Copies of this chain bind each other. A is one copy, B any other.
């Protein structure tokens, strides 16, 4: 089963947008056992689209196209496909209703342009778009499948996951690759690879390991293919368990779960609450926590004390300590954690104070120096971190480190 991805859009060819769609789709297809043999990026031009389709149909069984489905006149994929297949356009009533409802829900009136979004080539099966107005389209030709989807990632991804992939699996029944991804936080790739060297060497030949690093997170992906899925699954689970002996505090979950989900679940299960006090992370820690639906069950709120006056005025940090030790210090971060915990009356609290950069660093406390505290019922603990020089990554790493401290503290108290 070979697939080709055709990404349409001038923004990709001028380098304004990075083609993350193609890599996401490739990863999803691979997990399902469908091999991507070719990715093509072309402009919004009829000739280019026709030529790429001709070439792709020679190489692949499945062709997935994204882009050029918007309502404006520079979006030409739909008509181009109709002409490619030599068919006319038909008005698709259910799509029209869907588009109409989409606008009604947002209190906007529909325009003529939007009405045309319900016109589709007569040989296609439309694919519902639950996050936008342009439907996807499924074509079949000589036993091959051509799918056209919007280029907007938040429209394309659910369309792919919920509709296109299940249809492809049903049609082709590929032999799946078996994957398990181990989610870790708190150690850079090179150190981790030293630490888990023996474990890595113990893996049998048919189980492959890949390191997938992101700022603050390393995903370790184990993959294997074979007929006996149950046996593979057990085998991979054994190696996952083994890994815990090497890096017990770093593995926070499996299969793309986030640290904010894991921590939230621990709090919910135990009926506990948490609050936060943030300086250098500037709301990002609260944002991660509240990005989880239902987080209001365990998260009450935060004081973001960007200015020192807010640290003393709102969090009860001692002005003398602030003066003596500086805002980025054990003393201040612990007082921030205790202050917010008392103020909002939560079971736990987290506080972060550091130098995110690019300015504000000193010789003693260079950019990337971050103190993090976690307060529990009877205790407050803090830890000093040295991250890097990049502001955005320092903010992200600080928030992840705080969540991991909370996670470990909850587990310690209750197991």
Contact = CB atoms under 8 A, between A and B. Distances in A.
Interface string A133-173: 10000000000000000001010000000000000000000
A302 interface: yes
Interface residues of A, number: 107
A12 B358 CA distance: 32
Contacts of A20: 18
A221 interface: yes
Main secondary structure of the interface of A (DSSP, over half): mixed
A211 interface: yes
Interface string A269-312: 00000001010011111110111011110011111111101100
B41 A38 contact: yes
Interface stretch (A79-87, A228-236, A388-396, A403-411): A388-396
A111 interface: yes
Interface of A: 10-20, 22-30, 35-43, 48, 55, 70-72, 74, 105-108, 111, 113-114, 131, 133, 152, 154, 179, 181, 188-191, 193-194, 209-213, 215, 221, 223, 276, 278, 281-287, 289-291, 293-296, 299-307, 309-310, 314, 343-345, 357-359, 366, 368, 386-393, 395
21 contacts: A10-B210, A12-B26, A13-B26, A13-B37, A13-B38, A14-B30, A15-B27, A15-B36, A16-B27, A38-B42, A74-B210, A131-B388, A133-B190, A154-B390, A281-B287, A286-B286, A294-B359, A300-B310, A309-B344, A309-B345, A310-B344
